[in-house]
Amino acid sequence: MRYLAIILAMIILGGCQPAPPKNIIKQEVRQYRILLIDQPKHFWVNLKDVQTGQVFEREGRRKHCNNWRSWSVGDVISVNTQYYQNEGDTATYVRLVDVSRILCG
């Protein structure tokens, strides 16, 4: 309870605004090729959409990943991909869902 009060005070006094809700436009499973693996201590990968060629850098950031050795550059993985817009914004953004769970288990 004490930590909740501290966090609320920080938000109110700091003038932080909560992130506006996201409107998910579309979700689909897409194929991505692993371009780079940055191994522990902090694990992340660069991925390239097999169909469109769009590159996503530093996805799946995680402090520890015990399964990183089971993946290689060039491997293709299936990732749930969300297309969304922030409320009051007309730009469409892409989010790769659960990359660290897929790669690290």
The pLDDT, as a whole number, for residue 3 is 63
| Tens-digit pLDDT profile for residues 20-79 | 557 889 999 999 999 999 876 788 899 999 999 999 999 987 777 888 889 999 999 999
Beta partners for 91?
A: none
CA-atom Rg of the chain in angstroms? 17
Per domain, the residue ranges of the chain are 20-104
Q: Is 40:100 a contact under the CB 8 Å cutoff?
A: no
- According to DSSP, residue 63 is labeled S
Q: What is the pLDDT of residues 20-31, one digit of tens each?
A: 557 889 999 999
DSSP code of 42? S
